[in-house]
Structure 1
Amino acid sequence: MRLGAVADDVTGACDLAGRVAEAGLPASVLLGIPRTDASRDDVFALAGSSCAVVALKARTAPVAHAVAASSEAAHFLVGAGATLLYQKYCSTFDSTPEGNIGPIADALAAVAAESAAPDAPSPVTIGTPATPDAARTQYQGVLFVGGVPLAESPMRDHPLTPMRDSNVVRLLAPQTSAPVSLVRWQDVRRGADAVVDLIGDGHTLVDALTEDDIDTVAEAVLRVAAERPVVAGGGAGVGTALARVAVRATETTEGDAATGPDASVFTASGAPRSTGAAASLPGVPVTGRLILAGSASAATRGQIAAFTGERHELDPLDLAHDPGTLDRLRDALANRTDRLAPVLVRASPDVATAQRELGAERAAALLEDALSELAAWAVDELNISHLLVAGGETSGAVTTRLGIERLQIGVQAAPGVPWAVASTGSGRTVAVLLKSGNFGRPTLFTDAWEVAP
């Protein structure tokens, strides 16, 4: 299986690729759509990757832009040899009634149909946002986040995609003209054959409460794919299960244990269980560690609170009114005597005041620009070798400024939070951990370094 995934942001791409690699399939992340034939030809050859994820900035982009970019990415992946397309969206189903999950699903289904036989049945999408080991589950069409219905979770008041309904079928239906159907948990428990029998035209969302349920969804996807064009999709859960199913099939074929790898890639204490696929990264000599936190999520706030090392704050109001703000921070970092100890630079927690005065978009842009400029300066001038970045928008800004085009995915520091090795535009090799704001244990900013390449 060659899994070609289109992710709507960079941390979601890393989430999927990290879990797939831990499940046993080497994976890489492409930051944007490569423009050369050579890039297309080696996308799956690099490090023996069986999964290539194109990371876009499409989650809250205008619908037309998101659809165009996703279609281009899907065409690229099919041209590179992908045998199954995957739509990676957020496990909290971040979207509005206009999109972008539905329109992108329609677009990827159209790409899948183009590469099918002329007389093939119409394409379908099959998936679920459920990712049980990240406490995302779906029951009777209702998405739960940490055991709480989506609309009662902190996502209810998200500034860009406020989630005021917990039923994913009702959320998806206004975003597409195609039919939207549900396979309920009681039928999932009957096995993959039962799920296959209930796959409807258009888009099918499937309940899942456990990793076994997710494996059943993956098996159903592969059976349907043998008969008609299919796009799999959802959070990272189904993609991880597809990797597990593929690894089990390979091991069975080779005469190894048919049970395959343990469904859990983490020990009971929460430490990552390394696999060959995720342990093949080249080492990066440690010459400095920097944490950049642009996320205001509850998980990131907890990680900031638990961090006991040196810290600095960046306030959008200071950046807007005082041109020397970033220079003073650079001076403070340059004068540190112990650069091997992690240092944290965080966005000011008082974002509401800055948003009122500057507007939400300008406040966010000032922070992203400052943090990304700081990252590039730290790598090139301070010889920082290891970067931990919290927040999807911040991660996208940092990797763009560093000129990173590809991430080779390694071991996870926490579920959905993998380390990666990359080359910057200036020719430096760095280790980077790009973290979704909602992911990771409270101690992540301290203990992530223990498994860093």
Structure 2
Amino acid sequence: MRLGAVADDVTGACDLAGRVVEAGLPASVLLGVPVGAVDVFPSDGPGCAVVALKVRTAPVAEAVVASVGAARSLMSAGATQLYQKYCSTFDSTASGNIGPIADALADVIGATASVGTPATPGARRTQYQGTLFVDGVPLAESPMRDHPLTPMRDSDLVRLLAPQTAARVGLIRWEEVRRGASAVADRVDQAHMLVDALAEDDLDVIAEAVLRRSADRPVLAGGGAGVATALARAEVRAGDSAGASADAGAAALPAVPVTGRLILAGSASAATREQIAAFRGERHLLDPLELADGPRALGRLRDALAAREDNLAPVLVHASPDVTTAQRALGAGRAAAVLEHALSELAAFAVHELGCSHLLVAGGETSGAVTTRLGITRLQIGRQAAPGVPWAVATTTDAGASDAGGDRSGDPRTIAVLLKSGNFGERSLFTDAWEVAP
């Protein structure tokens, strides 16, 4: 099996790829829709390629065009199973983008049905009777209720997805999942089917149902990283696989000599706030209101990073936890934009002017901005620092030169990057992640 996944943001792409590597398949992440022919799958065995887009909150038409382009590129490269990766907390609005993308991707492969679930038990996301639970509570009672971009005020997935698509939306309940893959496969027809899952073996049943159903006619698989990981496990069980262990995948990564460690946190999620609070090293605060007032705030941070005597000790730059004040003053879009710009400029300055080798970035939008600013187009996925949070190795391009100037601006550099969803990782991640870095 060659699994081709279209992900709606970069941290979701890394989440999927990291878990697939741990399951035993080699994986890589492409940032943005590939241009021209791409060589993304192993020549002599199965593997996984993920295209990371930035379409979770993009206008529907724009999100669909990018997703279709990514899917066609993956299929042309040899993907045998297409996968739609969306957030395990079902981040969306009344108009999309999960439903419209599912419709479009199904059309690409000639499928009349899709099957999947956001459930990822390893990330404490489960689905039961159509209700999504986050850390044991219904979605609408979790911190996602007040997400600044996609507030989730309903926990019923069928009710959430139905307005986003003209296709029928159905539910396969947990009791049917326990009857086995044949029972699930029999329910997949002419609809977007959301499937209950409480544990990893439920995901294995869903993956087997996808494989059985797709043996007869195309079916779009989708959801969080859980079902994709189960598909990888099924492939590994089916026979010898190239890179069939997490250690093998990580060993393939080139070593990156440590010359600097920088943490950039743009997420306001509860998990990231806890990680910021637990970090005991040097830290600097970014205030969107101050950033919007002119370039002086960013200049002071550049100076502070350049003046550090111990670059090997991790340093944290993080957004103010008080997002509501900035959003009221600037608007949600403007507040997010100034933060993303500042954090991505600091990344370019640290890598190209200060020679920083290791970046840990928290937040999906922030990760997309940083990788774009550094001109990174591909991530080679390695060992996970936490479930769904893998390290990767990437090469910057001259598009990533810092606008601060300097002799090293524009020189391509090989760096280690960890791009994490705001909600992922243990409290001590900002301290512990470096222990398994390439």
Does the C-alpha gap of structure 1 residues 70 and 434 become closer, same or farther in structure 2, counting only changes over 3 Å? Answer: same
Q: Which residue of 2 aligns with 1:55?
A: 52
- For 1:440, which of 425, 428, 432 is the aligned residue? 425
Q: Does 1:349 align with 2:328?
A: no
Letter in 2 for 1:59: R
Q: Cα distance 1:446–1:46, how it changes in 2: closer, same or farther (>3 A)?
A: farther
Query: Please, what is the CA RMSD of the aligned residues?
Result: 1.6
* TM-score normalised per structure 2: 0.94
- Offset from partner CA, 1:117-168 (integer Å, 9 cap, x none): xxxxx52111000000101001111111111011111111222222111111
Q: Which amino acid aligns with 2:112?
A: P
1:157/1:163 contact within 8 Å kept? yes
- Percent identity over the alignment is 75
Aligned counterparts, 1:26-41, within 5 A: 26-37=26-37, 40=38
**CA 449–49 in structure 1, closer or farther in 2 if over 3 Å, else same:** farther
Query: Aligned AA for 1:29?
Result: V
Quote the offset at 1:360 in angstroms. Answer: 1.5
Equivalent-residue separation in structure 2 for 1:319 and 1:164 (angstroms): 31
SS of the residue 2:182 aligns to: helix
Judged with a 3 Å threshold, the aligned counterparts in structure 2 of structure 1 residues 340 and 46 are, in CA distance, closer, same or farther, namely: farther
1:430 equivalenced with 2:415 (yes/no): yes
Among 95, 98, 102, the alignment partner of 1:101 is 98
Gap runs ≥5 in structure 2: 399-411
Pair 1:111-2:108 in alignment: yes
Instruction: Please list every run of at least 4 consecutive aligned residues from structure 1 whose deviation after the TM superposition is greater than 3 angstroms.
Output: 45-49
Paired position in structure 2 for 1:116: none
Write the distance in 2 (CA, Å) between the matches of 1:448 and 1:48: 31
Query: Cα deviations across residues 380-421 of structure 1 (Å, max 9, x unaligned)?
Result: 111100000000000000000000000000000000000000
Distance 1:442-1:5 versus aligned 2 partners, 3 A rule: same
3-state secondary structure, aligned to 1:94 = coil
In structure 2, how many angstroms separate the alpha carbons of the residues matched to 1:222 and 1:194? 13
Match of 1:73 in 2: 70
User: Superposed, which structure 2 residues align to 1:181-260 within 5 Å?
Assistant: 181-251=170-240
Once residues 204 and 247 of structure 1 are traced to their aligned partners in structure 2, the CA distance between those partners, rounded to angstroms, is 26
Q: Give, as a single letter, the amino acid of the residue that structure 2 aligns with 1:284.
A: V
Alignment-mate amino acid for residue 310 of structure 2: D
Does residue 306 (structure 1) correspond to residue 278 (structure 2)? The answer is yes
Quote the residue 1:82 is aligned against.
79
Distance 2:25 2:3 in 1: 10
- Larger deviation, residues 393-402 vs 330-339: 330-339
Amino acid corresponding to residue 99 of structure 2 in structure 1: G
SS of match in other structure, 2:239:
helix
Contact 2:112 2:189 in 1 (8 A): no
Say if 2:131 is the partner of 1:134. Answer: no
Q: CA deviation at 1:46?
A: 8.1
Q: Match for residue 11 of structure 1?
A: 11
Offset of residue 321 of structure 1: 1.7
Query: Deviation at 1:49?
Result: 6.8
TM-score by length of structure 1 reads 0.91
Match of 2:401 in 1: none
Aligned length in residues: 424
Kindly provide the CA deviation profile for residues 6-43 of structure 1, in whole angstroms up to 9, marking residues without a partner as x.
00000000000000011000000000012132xx2x11
Distance in 1 separating the partners of 2:45 and 2:180: 32
The one-letter code of the counterpart of 1:125 is S
Deviation at 1:337, TM superposition (A): 0.8
**Distance across 1 between alignment mates of 2:263 and 2:341:** 16
Q: Which amino acid aligns with 2:173?
A: R
What is the deviation of 1:277? Answer: 2.5
Change (3 A) 1:357 1:48: farther
Shift of 1:323: 2.4
Q: Deviations over 1:325-376 (max 9, x none)?
A: 1111111111111000000000112222222212211111111101101100
- The unaligned stretches of length 5 or more in structure 1 are 114-121, 255-260, 262-272
The structure-2 alpha-carbon separation of the partners of 1:46 and 1:160, relative to structure 1 and needing over 3 Å to count, comes to farther
